[in-house]
Structure 1
Amino acid sequence: MRFRVGELIAYFFRSLFWSFNLLLVLYTLLAYWLLYKLPIEHWSAGMIMITLPVAWVFNLIVVFFWLATRPWRSWLSGLVLILGVILFGERTFQWHQSTGNAAVSTPSHPVIKVFSYNVGMFNLSDYWARQRSSPPIRRTLNYVLRYDAPIKCFQEFCSSTTLPEYNMVRRFRNAGYEHSVVLYPELLGTDYGDLGVAIFSKYPIIHSGREIFNGRNGLVWANIKVGNDTIRIINVHLHSMGIRVGKVLRQDELTGVKQETRGILSALRFGFMERREQVRKVERHITESEFPVIVTGDHNDTPYSVVYERMRRVLRNSFEAAGSGFGFTYNRLPGFIRIDHQFFDPKHFDALDFETINYVRYSDHYPIMGTYRIK
């Protein structure tokens, strides 16, 4: 009798787990369909798409569970995972070997490097921090100045005249970056200029423009003369994702956890709607350009999103073309996300290398750098 009761309990939980397995598979297939086809761009669809990596993890757990208990049932989640690798594998993980350092630049096919970094205001947003020289801030400023790239793009960029070493606009010009465009040029030369998005170039900028979305979010573009060619660099900073996992984990009481979680979900919902509209403005600047385009910046969206998929349908993603590993770019919890991207026109550029510089931890983002040959 005891044996039969045990059997019934085991059968009940296996049936319950199998039902969960079926629901999980349906959810994962729905995410595949939404991401692959983009039939709707509602914020709720964005929520489903962004959770695709979590669905993969659960499917993998299910596979191992069934292999240990009922091996024949593992095929369903296994097939779903294989389909995910076929459809979305290249935007998740790459094996490319770098060829950028070995590339030879010629007058007919010049090689350019585009460096991009969300510098988090260099930690100068605090008034008292700007009044004294700080070794950590100096290290950050010196790093972005000395990094070897003729085109540098920044998000959350600022400059201050309180101390000569904090006057980053002047220091860039003295370092040979004589050409620049910023989101808020009226703040240049002020005591503290929250300039937002910025491009600095050693090559001549023959024309430029800007478009403010809200606050620090916006885009700047520059038509840059490289030898006999002219290219357009578009630097973007889209609306924040609103993910603050660390604040949730720091809560001591369940009430605080619930409040922070609701705040994150609300911010995600609003962010999906904002970025959906902002990426359309980026697309307009791409299609209106008479020159080949490279887009870089902090897109604040993962490879499983409306923003990424829309950009991917216009341009080629640099990580997919020349990156390696997972390329995670966020230096905070949850950490395992890639939200800083570069995209390029494959008709006019070859991507030779793309690197996430994940040993540089000055900001809550890692720098990214793409190397391209102009065809």
Structure 2
Amino acid sequence: MKLQIGRLVTFFFRSLFWSLNLLLALYTLLAYWLLYSLSIEHWSASMIMISIPVAWVFNFICIVLWLFVRPWRSWLSGLVLIVGIVLFGSRTFVWHSIEKLTDSSIPLKVFSYNVQSFGLDSDWERSHSSPRVRRLVNYVLRYEAPVKCFQEFYNSTSIDDYDVVRHFQESGYRHSVLLNPEAANQPSGMVGVAIFSIYPIVHGDRESFDRWNGLVWADIKVGHDTVRVINVHLQSMGIRVGKVLRQGQLAGVKHETRGVLSALRSGFIERREQVARVERHIRESPHPVIVTGDHNDTPYSVVYERMRRILPNSFEEAGRGFGFTYNRLPGFIRIDHQFHDPSLSMLNFETINYIKYSDHYPIVGTYRVNNKPRK
């Protein structure tokens, strides 16, 4: 009798696990279809799309568990993972070697960094020169790149160390486009999105989404060619995983979780509208375009897929590894991106994940710019 009961219990849980495995496979395939077809851009569809990496992890767990119980059943999640690798592998993990310049073209290095207001998150640091802030300012000033793009850029004329716009001008970056240029002349102000260039900027403009989010673009003269660099900072994802985990009570966890989900929902809606404005600037550009910045969306999102259908992604073309760019929990996400015109072939793309001054890592793309006049 005990043997039969044990067999029934085993059969029940095995059948339940198989049913859950089937549902997981269907859910993952639905996420594939939504991202591949992009036929539905509702925020709920976006929520399913960004869960693809999590679904992969659960499918892998199913494969491992079935190998110990019913090996033949591991084929289901195995096939689901293989389909995912075929469709989305290049946006997840790549490994490219650095290309060398062998002709008369000009290498254009575009540095992009969300500096998180240079870490000025306390009243004391805003009114006193902080060694932590000075280290970050010195890093972005000394990094060798002719074009530097920033998000959450802060400037203060009241403290010499924080007058970053002036320091850039003195360092040779005499050309710039700022989202809030008036903030560069105030004792304390958030510039937001900014482009600094050693090369001449023949034309530039800005478009604000809200107080600090928005885009700036600059037509930069590089040799005989002109390249339009568009620096964007889209609506925040509202990621506060660390704050959720720090809650000591269930009520606090529930409250913070609801806050995260609400922020994700509103972020999906806002970014979908904002990326349409970025697309307009790309279409209207008479020059080859490089789009960089903090897109606040993963490679499994509406924003990324829409951008990817217009311009190749620089990480996919010349990156190495996973390229995670977020320096906070959950940590394993890539939300800072560069996209480029196909005529600007890639030489290298790097995520500088050992620079941890901010909650983002810097990203750097190096492009081959033709040194012959365009017709």
Please tell me the TM-score bracket, short chain as reference.
Answer: over 0.9
Match of 2:46 in 1: 46
The answer to whether the 8 Å contact 1:180/1:200 transfers is: yes
Residue 130 of structure 1, CA deviation: 2.4
Q: Which runs of 5+ in 2 are unaligned?
A: 371-375
Residue 163 of structure 1, CA deviation: 1.5
Residue type of the alignment partner of 1:29: L
Mapped to 2, the partners of 1:165 and 1:92 lie a distance apart of 39
Q: Which runs of 5+ in 1 are unaligned?
A: none
Residue 35 of structure 1, CA deviation: 0.1
The answer to whether the 8 Å contact 2:157/2:184 transfers is: no
1:153 is matched with which residue: 149, 157, 168? 149
Match of 1:89 in 2: 89
Residue 161 of structure 1, CA deviation: 1.0
**When the two structures are superposed, what TM-score results if normalisation uses the length of structure 2?**
0.97
1:103 is matched with which residue: 101, 104, 107? 101
Match of 1:373 in 2: 368
Residue 126 of structure 1, CA deviation: 3.5
The answer to whether the 8 Å contact 2:352/2:362 transfers is: yes
Structure 1 residue matching 2:354: 3-state secondary structure: coil
Residue 255 of structure 1, CA deviation: 0.3
Mapped to 1, the partners of 2:152 and 2:246 lie a distance apart of 26
Residue 59 of structure 1, CA deviation: 0.3
What RMSD over aligned residues (CA atoms) do the two structures have, in Å?
0.9
Q: Kindly indicate whether residue 59 of structure 2 is the aligned counterpart of residue 59 of structure 1.
A: yes
Structure 1 residue matching 2:209: 3-state secondary structure: strand
Mapped to 1, the partners of 2:72 and 2:102 lie a distance apart of 54
Q: Kindly indicate whether residue 353 of structure 2 is the aligned counterpart of residue 353 of structure 1.
A: no
Mapped to 1, the partners of 2:357 and 2:101 lie a distance apart of 29
Mapped to 2, the partners of 1:130 and 1:251 lie a distance apart of 29
Output one character per residue of 1:164-187: Cα deviation in whole Å (capped at 9) or x when no partner: 121000000000000000001122
Consecutive aligned runs of 4 or more in structure 1 exceeding 6 Å deviation = none
Mapped to 1, the partners of 2:101 and 2:10 lie a distance apart of 62
Residue 188 of structure 1, CA deviation: 2.0
Mapped to 2, the partners of 1:155 and 1:163 lie a distance apart of 21
Output one character per residue of 1:274-306: Cα deviation in whole Å (capped at 9) or x when no partner: 000000000000000000000000000000000
Residue type of the alignment partner of 2:258: R
Q: How does 1:268-279 map to 2 (within 5 A)?
A: 268-279=264-275
Residue type of the alignment partner of 1:373: R
Residue 124 of structure 1, CA deviation: 2.4
Q: How does 1:182-221 map to 2 (within 5 A)?
A: 182-221=178-217
Residue type of the alignment partner of 2:219: N
Mapped to 2, the partners of 1:33 and 1:308 lie a distance apart of 15
Which stretch of structure 1 is more off in the superposition, 120-129 or 74-83? Answer: 120-129
**When the two structures are superposed, what TM-score results if normalisation uses the length of structure 1?**
0.97
Residue 125 of structure 1, CA deviation: 4.8
Residue type of the alignment partner of 2:107: V
Structure 2 residue matching 1:316: 3-state secondary structure: coil
The answer to whether the 8 Å contact 1:207/1:222 transfers is: yes
